[in-house]
Amino acid sequence: MSKGAAEPPKQVLEQNLLLQKCNVLLVEDERLIREILCRQMKSIGITEVVEASSAESAWNLLTDSKSKGFNVVITDIKLPGISGAAFVKQLRSLRSPRAKKIPIIVLTGDSQLKTYRVLARYNISSYLIKPISADLLRRAIEYALGQSMTPPLASGPEVPEEPAGPTNQRHQTTPAPSQRIKTNRGWIKTKKISARGVLC
């Protein structure tokens, strides 16, 4: 560091150190996407990344007695065999306190609100829509680790039910009302998650 240059804030140094020590389990079946995500994580200081191309492989890694454990799980939804959603549900169903609390970041190309709501009930950390930037990935991981109070995008998942309306379904010609999500810009009405994702 040159003479007179300002030193990084203590919080930034602590976050960088935490990322360097972070051990990530990446579950993604597409090799190219795994390579991109690994490069992104390396660019933000994460070098301990264990890759799995299926939920079955990830499950074996998580239950391996020789494993030193993972700090964060990043998983795609569409996987061969057991889906990412089923994998998350299975992981949360274990009696182990660690399995119930380990941060899970979901990556997906599915922006449908229905898919998000299914996964949000399993206490996921973030729901990110592909493709994602290295900066968004860093913020999601920092938030998952509890080192950042700033969500990657939104402050959800507060998705209230719409007020009950007319129940005559046979003569209903208008589309169903949109759902509402509370984001960092206030309440929005939408039938899809935004292009970047939502914090859970």
What is the pLDDT at residue 109?
84
Please compute the mean of the pLDDT values over residues 22-29 and round it to a whole number.
95
Give the SS3 label for residue 33: helix
Comparing CA positions, the residue from 137, 182, 180, 151 lying closest to residue 33 is 137
Q: Which range is least confidently modeled, 14-23, 66-75, 172-181?
A: 172-181
* In the predicted structure, residue 156 carries a pLDDT above the cut 50: no
Q: 26 - beta bridge partners?
A: 51, 74
Please tell me the pTM assigned to this model.
0.72
Environment class of 26 (CB within 10 Å of its CB; exposed 0-12, middle 13-18, buried 19+): buried
Displacement of CA 50 from its chain's centroid (Å): 17
Higher pLDDT, 185 or 19: 19
Q: Under 8 Å CB-to-CB from 194, ≥6 apart: which residues? A: 111, 129, 153, 154, 183
Superfamily of domain 10-153+192-199: Response regulator (3.40.50.2300)
Please compute the mean of the pLDDT values over residues 33-52 and round it to a whole number.
94
Number of residues that this document lists for the chain: 200
What is the pLDDT at residue 9?
58
Mean pLDDT, all residues of the chain? 75
Comparing CA positions, the residue from 103, 108, 127, 134 lying closest to residue 199 is 127
What is the pLDDT at residue 99?
86
The continuous run of DSSP H or E covering 59 comes out as: helix 55-63
Please compute the mean of the pLDDT values over residues 97-123 and round it to a whole number.
87
Q: pLDDT-based confidence at 116, cuts 50/70/90?
A: confident
What is the pLDDT at residue 20?
80
* In the predicted structure, residue 190 carries a pLDDT above the cut 70: no
Distances (CA, A) of 41 to 3, 25, 74, 149: 30, 12, 11, 20
Please compute the mean of the pLDDT values over residues 152-169 and round it to a whole number.
42
Comparing CA positions, the residue from 126, 177, 179, 131 lying closest to residue 151 is 126
What is the pLDDT at residue 26?
97
Contact (Cβ atoms closer than 8 angstroms) between residue 167 and residue 147: no
